[in-house]
């Protein structure tokens, strides 16, 4: 399965974060921010927020007089025993925090063996998840999750998926014409969240952003009741800003 070679903002953030972590691990006793700036060639305006995020996520820890060293999360995810369990728990904690920050149900998904899979989610009494009235595996053409995953595939892989899962009409807004759907998927900017405006289910709007680590094609998504549709664009922007820590967890695993 081929990937579209399109960079995304969270991807760039993670690549920079990995450069910082690589530099930090070279200094067992700790390294100053000034030294990290020299070694990573990142400007202070980019390095400082990256270090703040890495510290908040426990990938680095403060030692000595403002120096940084490798944190416990880095050891657990990269080299520690029980890495799969640690990753699952970490992602679930991140999803729960994101649900509370955005005020929406949030989902992690991946495209595995030619199928859409929701791997983890976080919802609550005030943030209900989407009712899966049609199997998400057959609804990629209509859901934000599915369309976001399809945008990350090569053209032939998209056509293969649509050949196996014919585009059915779920609502009056569902796109069922394959040519139109493929055109829209190809035109989707990599840095702009993919939207579902009542295409999968009447009364629900959704947004999704790609989180691709290595060969893993994934997405981070949210859903809102139609009554909260006015919040969708801002919530989607917030979703995009919070994608980097989860993508970093996947990249380190």
**Residue 216 DSSP symbol:** B
Residue 236 three-state SS? helix
Report whether 193 contacts 207 (CB < 8 A): yes
Confidence of residue 6 (pLDDT cuts 50, 70, 90): very low
Assessment of whether the complete model's pTM goes beyond 0.85: no
Report whether 189 contacts 6 (CB < 8 A): no
pLDDT of residue 14: 83
CATH 1.10.10.10 fits 9-78, yes or no: yes
Where does residue 63 rank: exposed (0-12), middle (13-18), buried (19+ CB within 10 A)?
middle
pLDDT one-digit tens code per residue, 11-34: 678 888 889 999 999 998 899 999
Rounded CA Rg of the chain: 19
Report whether 94 contacts 246 (CB < 8 A): yes
Rounded distance between C-alpha atoms, residue 77 and residue 83, angstroms: 5
For the chain, the domains span: 9-78, 83-242
User: What is the DSSP secondary-structure string of 116-140?
Assistant: EEEEEEE-BTTBPPPP-SS-GGG-T
* Span 207-227, average pLDDT: 90
Rounded to a whole number of angstroms, the distance between the first and last alpha carbons of the chain is 21
Rounded distance between C-alpha atoms, residue 128 and residue 169, angstroms: 24
pLDDT of residue 155: 94
CATH 3.30.450.40 fits 83-242, yes or no: yes
pLDDT of residue 77: 77
pLDDT reading at 3 higher than 70: no
pLDDT of residue 2: 42
Q: Which secondary structure element, helix H or strand E, spans residue 111, and what is its range?
A: strand 105-112
Rounded distance between C-alpha atoms, residue 48 and residue 36, angstroms: 10
Closest by CA to 125, choosing from 100, 90, 88, is 100
Q: What is the largest CA-CA distance in the chain?
A: 61
């Amino acid at each position: 399965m081929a990937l579209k070679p399109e960079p995304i903002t969270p991807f760039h953030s993670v690549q920079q974060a990995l450069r910082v972590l690589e530099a930090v691990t070279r200094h067992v006793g700790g390294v100053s921010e000034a030294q990290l700036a020299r070694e990573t060639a990142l400007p202070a305006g980019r390095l400082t927020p990256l270090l703040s995020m890495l510290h908040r996520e426990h990938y680095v820890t403060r030692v000595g007089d403002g120096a940084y060293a490798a944190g416990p999360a880095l050891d657990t995810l990269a080299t520690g025993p029980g890495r799969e369990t640690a990753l699952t728990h970490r992602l679930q904690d991140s999803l729960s925090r994101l649900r509370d920050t955005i005020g929406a149900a949030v989902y992690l998904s991946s495209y595995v063996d030619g199928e859409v899979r929701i791997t983890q989610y976080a919802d609550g009494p005030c943030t209900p998840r989407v009712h899966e009235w049609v199997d998400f595996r057959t609804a990629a053409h209509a859901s934000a999750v599915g369309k976001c995953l399809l945008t990350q595939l090569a053209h032939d892989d998209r056509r293969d998926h649509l050949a196996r899962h014919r585009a059915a009409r779920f609502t009056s807004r569902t796109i069922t014409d394959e040519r139109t759907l493929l055109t829209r998927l190809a035109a989707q900017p990599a840095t702009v969240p993919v939207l579902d405006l009542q295409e999968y289910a009447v009364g629900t709007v959704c947004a999704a952003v790609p989180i691709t680590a290595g060969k893993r094609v994934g997405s981070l998504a949210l859903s809102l009741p139609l009554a909260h549709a006015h919040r969708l664009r801002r919530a989607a922007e917030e979703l995009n800003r919070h994608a980097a820590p989860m993508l970093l967890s996947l990249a380190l695993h």
